[in-house]
Chain A
Amino acid sequence: MKTLLSMAVTLVFLPSAWAHAFIDHAEPAVGSKLASPPGAVKIWFTERLEPALSTIRVFDSQGTEVDKRDTKVDPKNGQLLVVSLPAIKTGKYRVTWRVVSVDTHVTNGSFEFEITG
């Protein structure tokens, strides 16, 4: 009886459930050190993203944006956001992201990775 009541209340509360999008995991991984430069930064989020309003930017240690400014949501996976990189040098890089999930919740964040060469 208690379980049924719980489920009934839950169903009443269940929305068309989306929420803030956050990182599930990333490539390069958050805080990682790489021997060779990656060709792209990929971030898997916990929610489906609004493609037109979601971006990844990558900056070198001088604050210069180094990505190809071609952020796109993977057509086969609405939770994967990708930006391409040129051949970047050794050093530390900061990834910043700002995404809008399909229910219009906005989240942003940043992390670093390092290319050791």
Chain B
Amino acid sequence: MNFKNLIPTAFYIPLGMCALVAMPNWADAHGFAGDRFFPATISTDDPFAASELSLPTISAIRQPGGSGPVKDINISADLSVLVLPRTAVTIGDGYQIVKPADQRALTGFDNLTANVLFEFYENDAHELITSVGLTWEIGGTGRRSLGASSFSTFTPTFYVGKGLGDLPSSLPWLRPIALTGEVGLSIPSRAGDRSVSFDMATGRNQVTITPNPDLIQWGIAVEYSLIYLQEHVKDIGLKAPFDRLIPLVEFAIQTPVNRLIGPTTGTVNPGIIWSGQYCQFGVEAVIPVNSHTGNNVGVVAQLHFYLDDILPKVFSKPLINP
């Protein structure tokens, strides 16, 4: 594998698609609550059920290793389809490349994931939306030596999105702010992994059980939408591409809650999203929140396509519309 060319190649085709279909106009796609357009967030999940495609999401970080730094790159894709009104199904997978210094890269797929999300409440006047979902990480579908578990994990999750456009007009510069958030409980289908090793000292087999804790997973994205500022608060004369930018900070955190009570880990991801008519592009830094998470800063970038705008005849309505 030509490691140096991996990222440019992975971006080539989608970037070509995005550039060509986005050129004629600037507009928005799905992800609305009242006047508010919410972009698809990168490091956390947003509360919208929509037909969309993230292709690719690429993250890269350099981790310390025993014999030198280890490059860790993940390339993933997610496809969401609106199957029923307010209900979307998502499938996703990733491909991991771990490249220790002066060694061959280890590569393999992550576990496949599936998610169903249902929007159960929307208040357009207050730019509020809430959803519930269930994510299933399908155990045994990824490469175990790269960390993919052999057991499944289920994560029921609550999602919320809230724009501040309902603030009084005396606070105009705060009205472009929006928040999205999620909180879920990640429940592994196996409480612990059992492994057997031979103990030379005793001459007996030794059984070790590594507990798999339940995890509280939560995330928040704080966004400042220049799109909202221009279209609903004050036209300050921004021109393309700046009138379509959404600076944001995402927090993706997890805490074990039982069995093996370990430290909270997670990342803070400041970045920016550009949203066009048919797709969006975003890039974020990935900063560990503590030393238990890591010490190095990584990067994540994503191309995301609004399928309901690219193929409205197919995706602008639910596949099943009772």
With a CB–CB cut-off of 8 A, which chain A residues contact B309? 19-20, 105
With A46-B25, A103-B316, A109-B35 in contact, do A23 and B16 touch (Cβ < 8 Å)?
no
Q: Any chain B CB within 8 A of the CB of A9? A: yes
When the two chains form their complex, are residues A30 and B235 in contact, meaning their CB atoms are under 8 A apart? yes
**Complex interface bits, B17-49 against A, C-beta within 8 A gives 1, otherwise 0:** 100110011111100101100000000000000
When the two chains form their complex, are residues A17 and B24 in contact, meaning their CB atoms are under 8 A apart? yes
Q: What is the CB-to-nearest-CB distance from B123 to chain A, in angstroms, rounded to a whole number?
A: 14
When the two chains form their complex, are residues B235 and A29 in contact, meaning their CB atoms are under 8 A apart? yes
Complexed CA–CA distance, A9 and B110 (Å): 26
With A15-B311, A30-B232, A110-B35 in contact, do A10 and B17 touch (Cβ < 8 Å)?
yes
When the two chains form their complex, are residues A6 and B16 in contact, meaning their CB atoms are under 8 A apart? yes
Question: Inter-chain contact count A-B, CB under 8 Å?
Answer: 100
With A13-B21, A25-B235 in contact, do A108 and B35 touch (Cβ < 8 Å)?
yes
Q: What is the CB-to-nearest-CB distance from A14 to chain B, in angstroms, rounded to a whole number?
A: 6
With A30-B234, A109-B35 in contact, do A17 and B26 touch (Cβ < 8 Å)?
no
When the two chains form their complex, are residues B316 and A47 in contact, meaning their CB atoms are under 8 A apart? no
When the two chains form their complex, are residues A19 and B278 in contact, meaning their CB atoms are under 8 A apart? yes
When the two chains form their complex, are residues A105 and B316 in contact, meaning their CB atoms are under 8 A apart? yes
Q: Give the interface residue-count category, chain B.
A: 20 to 34
With a CB–CB cut-off of 8 A, which chain B residues contact A105? 309, 312, 316
With a CB–CB cut-off of 8 A, which chain A residues contact B312? 15, 18-19, 103-105
Q: What is the CB-to-nearest-CB distance from A95 to chain B, in angstroms, rounded to a whole number?
A: 10
Q: Any chain B CB within 8 A of the CB of A5? A: yes
Complexed CA–CA distance, A10 and B15 (Å): 10
Q: Any chain A CB within 8 A of the CB of B111? A: no
Complexed CA–CA distance, A115 and B224 (Å): 28
Q: Any chain A CB within 8 A of the CB of B172? A: yes
When the two chains form their complex, are residues A31 and B233 in contact, meaning their CB atoms are under 8 A apart? yes
CB-CB contacts below 8 Å: A59-117 with B: 92, 103-105, 107-112
Q: Any chain A CB within 8 A of the CB of B104? A: no
When the two chains form their complex, are residues B232 and A109 in contact, meaning their CB atoms are under 8 A apart? yes
When the two chains form their complex, are residues A46 and B35 in contact, meaning their CB atoms are under 8 A apart? no
With a CB–CB cut-off of 8 A, which chain B residues contact A92? 169
Q: Any chain B CB within 8 A of the CB of A21? A: yes
Complexed CA–CA distance, A7 and B21 (Å): 10
When the two chains form their complex, are residues B230 and A30 in contact, meaning their CB atoms are under 8 A apart? yes
CB-CB contacts below 8 Å: A14-52 with B: 14-15, 17-26, 29-32, 46-47
Complexed CA–CA distance, A23 and B21 (Å): 19
With A17-B310, A19-B29, A46-B277 in contact, do A6 and B13 touch (Cβ < 8 Å)?
yes
Complexed CA–CA distance, A5 and B16 (Å): 9
Q: What is the CB-to-nearest-CB distance from B113 to chain A, in angstroms, rounded to a whole number?
A: 24
Closest to A94 in B: B169
When the two chains form their complex, are residues A21 and B21 in contact, meaning their CB atoms are under 8 A apart? no
When the two chains form their complex, are residues A17 and B233 in contact, meaning their CB atoms are under 8 A apart? no
When the two chains form their complex, are residues B235 and A31 in contact, meaning their CB atoms are under 8 A apart? yes
With a CB–CB cut-off of 8 A, which chain A residues contact B20? 6-7, 10, 14
Complexed CA–CA distance, A47 and B24 (Å): 10
When the two chains form their complex, are residues B13 and A9 in contact, meaning their CB atoms are under 8 A apart? yes
Complexed CA–CA distance, A31 and B16 (Å): 36
Q: Any chain A CB within 8 A of the CB of B193? A: no
Q: Any chain A CB within 8 A of the CB of B12? A: yes
Sample of 17 A–B contacts (CB below 8 Å): A2-B12, A3-B16, A6-B17, A9-B16, A13-B17, A14-B20, A15-B313, A17-B24, A19-B29, A19-B309, A19-B312, A24-B26, A26-B235, A30-B232, A30-B234, A47-B25, A104-B312
Chain A residues near B (Cβ < 8 Å): 2-3, 5-7, 9-10, 13-15, 17-26, 29-32, 46-47, 92, 103-105, 107-112
Minimum-distance CB pairs A-B, first 8: A6-B16, A31-B234, A19-B309, A30-B235, A46-B27, A29-B235, A109-B35, A10-B20
Chain B residues near A (Cβ < 8 Å): 9, 12-13, 15-17, 20-21, 24-29, 32, 34-35, 169, 172, 230-235, 277-278, 306, 309-313, 316
